[in-house]
Amino acid sequence: MANKEWANNEWFRNTEWNPEIEAKFFERLRRARDKAQYLKLQAYYLAESHPRVTLALIDKFFALGEDFFLADAHLASANAHLALGESSEAISSFKKALAAERQHPGYRTTAWSEFVLLVADRCLKSEFDEALRVLAENKTDLIFPKLVFVWHGAFALIKAEREDRAAAKEHAIMALDAGKMNRSGFRRQSKVGLVGSECDGVRKKLERLCRKV
């Protein structure tokens, strides 16, 4: 029974892709009622390992005319483009995800945090103003340590590039403090939303920034 339940829940969460998996996925999708949701979920799970498959699945999602999950779809596209080394296309997709969220304020994704961290970490100066605008829009949405780290870390890196040393150091310290937290503050999800090794590069930049300014 457990294996059957797992199969029922996991057919749209494949992290690998081959002709057999593809055939099974589309057979289940053909019989599914909420095709848009399953397409965007499967696309999300393949964004890093099979980015071109993700982009193809998202094209099928868009063809359905669904608008509620648009932010998720554009976010999956952004991550797929990043995996392919297509930074400009990724930025465009992040912006579309953020625009979709503004159309549906009650529906949130991780687009804002991924976008500002990408801009700050890669020093995409042409996007600094937009990143600061997105940070301002999400200043109160910091429920997990990682979001605190991303908000203050991105702000610090951008301010450092703009030679606002005092603000850069102040926010770098706040980001690094969040990075040291080992509990989220939520009783049943104490390890959710912590800063992981994926942020080591940004953490090192913030540490260097604190030593310099």
Q: What is the pLDDT of residues 134-183, one digit of tens each?
A: 999 999 879 899 999 999 999 999 999 999 999 999 999 999 999 999 88
- Where in the sequence is the domain holding 192, given as residue range(s)? 126-213
Does residue 118 contact residue 90 with C-beta atoms inside 8 Å? yes
> Residue 159: exposed, middle, or buried by beta-carbon count in 10 A (0-12, 13-18, 19+)?
buried
DSSP-based three-state secondary structure for 194: coil
Q: Are residues 61 and 147 in the same domain?
A: no
pLDDT means over runs of 10, the chain (213 residues): 52 97 98 95 98 98 93 98 98 98 91 98 98 96 93 98 97 97 76 89 96 76
Residues 6, 36: one domain? yes
Residue-level pLDDT at 2: 40
Rounded (10°) angle between helices 128-137 and 111-121: 150
How many domains would you assign to the chain? 2
